Each structure stands twice: as C-alpha cells, then as structure tokens.
Amino acid sequence: MKIESAKVIVTSPGRNFVTLKIVTESGTYGIGDATLNGRELSVASYLEDHVIPCLIGRDAGQIEDIWQYLYRGAYWRRGPVTMSAIAAVDMALWDIKAKAAGMPLYQLLGGRSRNGVLVYGHANGKDLEGTLEAVGRYIEMGYKAIRIQCGVPGNASVYGVGKGDLYYEPAEKGLPPEEVWSTPDYLRFIPGVFEAVREKYGDAPLLLHDCHHRLTPIEAARLGKDLEPYRLFWIEDATPAENQEAFKLIRQHTTTPLAVGEIFNTVWDAKDLIQNQLIDYIRATLVHAGGITHMRTIAALAALYQVRTGFHGATDLSPVTMGAALHFDTWVPNFGIQEYMRHTPETDAVFPHDYSYADGMLQVGDKPGHGVDIDEELAAEYPYDRAYLPVNRLADGTLWNW
Ligand SMILES: O=C(O)[C@@H](O)[C@@H](O)[C@H](O)[C@H](O)CO
Ligand SMILES: [Mg+2]
C-alpha cells in the first residue's frame, strides 16, 4: 500500500493543533497529531519541508522501517520537534494499517487488556473554597481520580488554575505572559489543601497533583513527605528531570508515588529513572515521544521495573493523540492511568472521534483505526493564531520553571 500523498493541516479551534494526513494509493488515509504547544510551526515545517518528500512512494505498511528511517536517517536525533514529527507519521501509519486490517487499533496491538481506561480530571480553583467545590463537581461526574491544583494566597497565578473548570488552556495569544512564583508560599499551603479535600471527601478519591517542574529535589522530598498522610496517587514533575539522578534524593525521603515525563521524547530520557525505580509512572505519550512504535519500547522497559503508564492528556494534545492513546491504554499490560483534560466542543467538531466518557473511565470505539478523523473544511475556518506558554520568574526576577 504505497503512500501517494501527505499534508500538514494547521488549525486553531480555540487553540493551535498540527495534524498530519497520509493518503495511500488505495485511498485509505491515516492521521497523526504533531502538536507541540508554543512551537507548532516548527513541527509543521519539519514535516512539510523535510519528512513528507521522503515518504511519497514508500510502503505505508512498513511502519518500523519508516520509523527507523526518520530517526536514524535524520542524523540529528531526539528532541521534541523531531520526535513529534516522527510521532505524527507513526500514528498515521498505525491508523492506516488498522483500517486496512478492518480492526480497531487496540486489536492490532494485542487486544483488550481491560474493560475501560481509568482517567483523571482536573479540579482547580483560585482558592481553597473554589477548589473544594471543583473536586465535588468531578466526583458528581463520576471521576474516581482527580488532579487538584489550587491558587496559593499571595500569588497572582500558579500552574494549573485555569480560567474555566472543565477546560484548562495554558497557552496565551501574543507573546509569553510572565508569571511570578513563590516556592515557600506553595510548600506552606499545598498540604493543607489535601488535608481539606480528605476531610470533606474521604479516603476513596484517587488524588493527584502536578508540581510542574518547580521544586528542587529536596523541596520535592519535603512536599512528598508532607503529603504522605493524604495518600496521593502521585505527585508529578516534582523536579526537572534532565538529571535523572535527582529523583534518588526525592525517593529516599518519601513514599508518595512519583510521575514524570510529559516533556520526554525518547526512552533515553527515562531509562535511568525506570531502571533504578526512581519513579512509579511514566508520563511520556504518543505525540511527543515518537508515536506508538516508540511508546511500546518505553512501556516495555517500564514493565520490567513495575513502572506504569500515566499518559499526558492535556488540551494541547489533540483528540487524535487522545484517541490513539486510548487504544494503547486499552492494550498495554502495565497501564496506570490516563490524563483526560476535555477538549472544547469546537475542537471536538474539528476532530470527530468515537471515544466516550462514563463513570470515571474512557472507552474506545470499535471502528477500524484509532477512531479519530479531521474535518478539513471546518479546520480551514480556524487559521493559526500564535500562542505561547507562560514564562515563570521568582520574586527577585530569577527566571524559573513554569
Ligand atoms: O500535566 C499536565 O497536563 C500539564 O503539565 C500540562 O497542562 C502542560 O502544562 C501543558 O501540556 C503544556 O503545554
Ligand atoms: Mg503535567
């Protein structure tokens, strides 16, 4: 089944998405997500100017060979732009192969390993009262797992406290907004938030929290210890992970489970973390870590060390990633949990899909492929609108991690 054409579709139904569509000579097509929040056009160009010319005429069924060709053949390996481009090709080719086989992608991967995909939603509030109310709303919607982010008194903004409730969009149009951060205020305040949640809603809800790269290892160790009475499911991105050894220091101080990796893009970013059991969940997901082909490598290594998947699933990952990830989640033996930040209705209209939410779980559909499409006409109505993630500074102006 030869690749006849391929194109990149950039659309912005409320936020920017980059999608690759590969069409074979038989007319069967597949789509892949190539969205990299704040750097979208770099991946669009990588695909249009450097990858697509090399795809035309190749056998769409040779998924592994094309993956190796794009990874080794680029000479310059790894990185979010390269690996997001490779991911988009990979997702589209797996979509084609499953459609050609007449089966949903999870069947092609190895069949169903679970009845449904446990997801977590995002309860957040500008203050403790608003956050407690948001947690109640997620419990009423049937969520068993809830991520909790709360405004910190004295701080104008913190990560994860959005403008809305169901939808959280961190990127802003125009140039990067600058935020100010106080770790001492945060470390003093956050344990009390989880104490209040447990007091109000009991021990049953699975509670998660995202530190979003802002702590040093010893600060993360302190927060992990302070949160132990509230038995969190995980704290995420407790400290930047370029130095994977940093997690040793956190691990030796606390039993709060650790998740990391949404900004990872190959197995090499996580190898030492996994092999030394410094983490409990790996957050890397299809769109930024080389697609289904490479995520199988990462998940297989993780399984050897009882590390489970915890795919990133923010709104800046398109429904194409969500759909393909749910097929992976349905199959992968060492599944942990799937993040589920809902997309807006206008985004869902551009990307019709067959996955659905009920009672704290997402279910994949049984259509051949990954079950997500793109309405090109509708997509064309939303031109690209440059937006950036915020930049973070400490009170003295030191540039910090957002
Ligand atoms: O865990 C998460 O979902 C966050 O870390 C994301 O919202 C992240 O900030 C965005 O994906 C960045 O684009
Ligand atoms: Mg995160």
Active-site residue 312, yes or no? no
Q: How far is the CA of 368 from the centre of ligand 1 (A)?
A: 30
Positive or negative torsion for Cα 308, 76, 238, 35: negative
**Annotated catalytic residue within 122, 212, 312, 353:** 212
Coil vs helix vs strand at 391: strand
Verify whether ligand 1 is closer than 6 Å to residue 262 (CB atom). Answer: yes
- The whole domain housing 72 covers 2-104
CB 385 within 8 A of CB 11: no
What is the b/e burial string over 281-299, where b = at least 16 CB atoms within 10 angstroms of the residue's CB?
bbbbbbbbbbbbbbbbebb
Amino acid, single-letter form, for residue 233:
F
Dist. CA 103–CA 370, nearest whole Å: 9
- In this structure, the residue with its CA closest to atom 6 of ligand 1 is 314
Ligand 1 test: best mutation among 157, 209, 210, 311, most atoms within 8 Å of CB?
210
Task: Name residues whose C-beta falls within 8 Å of residue 229's C-beta, 6 or more positions apart in sequence.
Answer: 195
Question: How many structural domains are present in the chain?
Answer: 2
Coil vs helix vs strand at 387: strand
Q: Which of 89, 104, 119 is the last residue of a domain?
A: 104
Q: How far is the CA of 67 from the centre of ligand 1 (A)?
A: 26
Q: Are residues 42 and 128 in the same domain?
A: no
Q: Are residues 29 and 114 in the same domain?
A: no
Helices (H), 19-167: 40-45, 52-55, 63-72, 80-101, 105-109, 128-140
Q: Are residues 322 and 345 in the same domain?
A: yes
Q: Which of 52, 78, 104 is the last residue of a domain?
A: 104
Q: Are residues 206 and 324 in the same domain?
A: yes
Verify whether ligand 1 is closer than 6 Å to residue 314 (CB atom). Answer: yes
CA nearest to 90, candidates 334, 375, 297, 316: 297
Instruction: Give the tens place of pLDDT for each residue, 64-78.
Output: 999 999 999 999 999
Whichever domain contains 55, its CATH number is 3.30.390.10
Dist. CA 238–CA 183, nearest whole Å: 12
Does any domain span residue 391? Answer: no
Dist. CA 384–CA 18, nearest whole Å: 9
Q: Are residues 35 and 69 in the same domain?
A: yes
CB 371 within 8 A of CB 343: no
Q: Are residues 37 and 166 in the same domain?
A: no
Q: Are residues 315 and 344 in the same domain?
A: yes
Most distant CA pair in the chain: distance in Å? Answer: 62
Helix (H) / strand (E) element for 208: namely strand 206-210
**Ligand 1 atom with the shortest distance to the CA of 313:** 3
CB 109 within 8 A of CB 67: no
Per-residue pLDDT in tens (0 to 9) along the chain, 402 residues = 999 999 999 999 999 999 999 999 999 999 999 999 999 999 999 999 999 999 999 999 999 999 999 999 999 999 999 999 999 999 999 999 999 999 999 999 999 999 999 999 999 999 999 999 999 999 999 999 999 999 999 888 888 887 666 777 889 999 999 999 999 999 999 999 999 999 999 999 999 999 999 999 999 999 999 999 999 999 999 999 999 999 999 999 999 999 999 999 999 999 999 999 999 999 999 999 999 999 999 999 999 999 999 999 999 999 999 999 999 999 999 999 999 999 999 999 999 999 999 999 999 999 999 999 999 999 999 999 999 999 999 999 999 999
- In this structure, the residue with its CA closest to atom 2 of ligand 1 is 314
Amino acid, single-letter form, for residue 72:
R
DSSP-derived pairing of the beta strands 356-358 and 361-363: antiparallel
Nearest ligand to the C-alpha of residue 168? 1
